[in-house]
Amino acid sequence: MAIKASVGVNQGDDSYAVGANACQDAIEQLGDSSPDLLVVFSSVKYDQEKMLQGVRSVAPGALLVGSSTSGEITTQGPLREKSVAIMAIKSPEVKYFAGVGENIAANPREAGKVVADKVKRQVKEQAGETLKTFMMFPDVLAGNGADIVRGVLDSLGEHFPVVGGASGDDFAFKKTYQYVNDKVYSGAVVGLGLVGNFKMGIGVKHGWIPVGEPATVTKSAGSVIHEINGKPAIRIYEDYFGEEEAKVLRTETLAKLAITYPLGMKVVGSDELLIRDPITVDEHGSITCAAEIPEGSEIRLMVGSRNEAIQVARTAAKSALEQLGGSAPKAIIIFNCIARQKLFGDKSGDEIKAIQEIIGPQVPLIGFYTYGEQAPLGGEVKNIERCNSAFHNETVVICALAD
């Protein structure tokens, strides 16, 4: 029997009811009241615990993983109202195992290792098979996203397909949440392991373009860049943005102003520069990014273009489909950077429509706007020796599941 997937969505004021209705909607469309897996993406507008209770009241037997978001995406496109979106999946050929790694703030790498270890252990004990893919939802407001991915790879091996999206909080950059079954976490990373007879294709692209001359990171520690070209890191933004905007940079969350002007650095294995989003700036002008930029890196300021972003979304979708070896996609999960939502504004549906033109408009699709994406560089999953999973920013990651 093939993979069956469906997507349910709901909006409203009562968190419990919205969770229950979204799940009911997914189940009705699945045509099966006992899905194997629920992937839940929710706005932080809702009381997270009550929302999950509502979801669980409808499908108590399903394994549940999920995350808070900065905007939910479904088959109908990006949702303009704060919603709960749920994908229900059923297939006798696929098994799912979930885990959580807590306290990212104390040690992000350890949290990544813990969650992957937990999933790996369950796979070994309960399935007696090999873990094929690892999906994750980390909280990168709590710690360095690249370190979390590094921790996951410490456990699963250097070359392992990891895909996922960092939780959001409706662009507030204050507190995000992760879900496993009926529990709500914050400052944690949730992992989902997939085992069995299925195919997965991953596409990842950003399409941001470098402008201006290269600069060198002369002092950094983890995800904090202290100096660029020997000057406080924030100078790069002050220089490009001009005096008026520069004043605001220190009073508002840097991410709100600069997220569509990230920093890009060269990495091996990707034809595009790897992007790092600036999140906050301190009184010394040091910039904290969503993941690290190592000392000595050559960086460029990047700008986005809607046309280019749509083109690369199509390319990423094609790339994900190509990896399915001719099988039809049965479910699509999209991790789309919040910067892309800001870039497109009220035209954000154009990007999702472009993806659907490639994958087919009737394929169940769910996703969310993230604070960072995880995927192999260049989307490489077939040649495992060249599969280098990394933490990305500003990308659209398209994950396609097929029989």
Partner 1 sequence: MNEKKGTEKIAELEKLLKEQQQNARLLVRRDLELSRANEKLQEFDEIKSNFISVVAHQLRTPLSGIKWTLNMLLNGDLGPLNNDQKTFLIKSYESNNRMITLINDMLDTDRIQSGKMHYGFRYINIIDLLDNVLFEISPEATKRNISIEFKRKLENLPQVYIDPETMRAVFQNLLENAIKYTIEGGKIILDAEQVKNMLQISINDNGIGIPEDQKKKVFERFFRGRNAILRETDGSGLGLYIAKTIVEKNGGIIWFESKENNGTTFYFTVPIKIEDVKKN
Residues forming contacts to partner 1 in the complex (CB under 8 A) are 9, 11, 25, 29, 75-77, 79-81, 211-213, 239-242, 245, 260-261, 301, 303, 342, 345-346, 349, 360-362
Distance CA 65, CA 319 (A): 26
Q: Of 103 and 241, which CB lies nearer to partner 1 in the complex structure? A: 241
Chain centroid to CA 37: 18
At its nearest, how many Å lie between partner 1 and the CB of residue 242?
Answer: 5
Answer for the pair 258, 246: CB distance below 8 angstroms, yes or no.
Answer: no
Element (H, E) at 85: strand 84-90
Quick one: tokens of 123?
A: 């796979």
At its nearest, how many Å lie between partner 1 and the CB of residue 361?
Answer: 5
Q: Of 127 and 303, which CB lies nearer to partner 1 in the complex structure? A: 303
Q: Of 29 and 186, which CB lies nearer to partner 1 in the complex structure? A: 29
Q: Of 103 and 229, which CB lies nearer to partner 1 in the complex structure? A: 229
Which residues lie below 8 Å from residue 165, measured CB to CB, with a gap of 6+? 67, 137, 335, 336, 367, 368, 370, 372, 373, 374, 397
At its nearest, how many Å lie between partner 1 and the CB of residue 71?
Answer: 12
At its nearest, how many Å lie between partner 1 and the CB of residue 11?
Answer: 8
At its nearest, how many Å lie between partner 1 and the CB of residue 342?
Answer: 8
Q: Of 224 and 275, which CB lies nearer to partner 1 in the complex structure? A: 275
Q: Of 82 and 175, which CB lies nearer to partner 1 in the complex structure? A: 82
Alpha-helix runs per DSSP H in 275-401: 306-322, 338-344, 348-359
Quick one: tokens of 130?
A: 């090999």
CA distances from 249 to 32, 217, 224, 245, 367 (A): 51, 20, 16, 7, 30
Our CA angle for 316, 367, 194, nearest 5°, is 85
At its nearest, how many Å lie between partner 1 and the CB of residue 76?
Answer: 4
Which residues lie below 8 Å from residue 352, measured CB to CB, with a gap of 6+? 73, 77, 78, 334, 365
Q: Of 75 and 178, which CB lies nearer to partner 1 in the complex structure? A: 75
Quick one: tokens of 314?
A: 């199509």
The torsion angles phi and psi of 368, rounded to 5 degrees, stand at -155, 160
Q: Of 81 and 298, which CB lies nearer to partner 1 in the complex structure? A: 81
Distance CA 109, CA 148 (A): 5
At its nearest, how many Å lie between partner 1 and the CB of residue 274?
Answer: 20
At its nearest, how many Å lie between partner 1 and the CB of residue 120?
Answer: 37
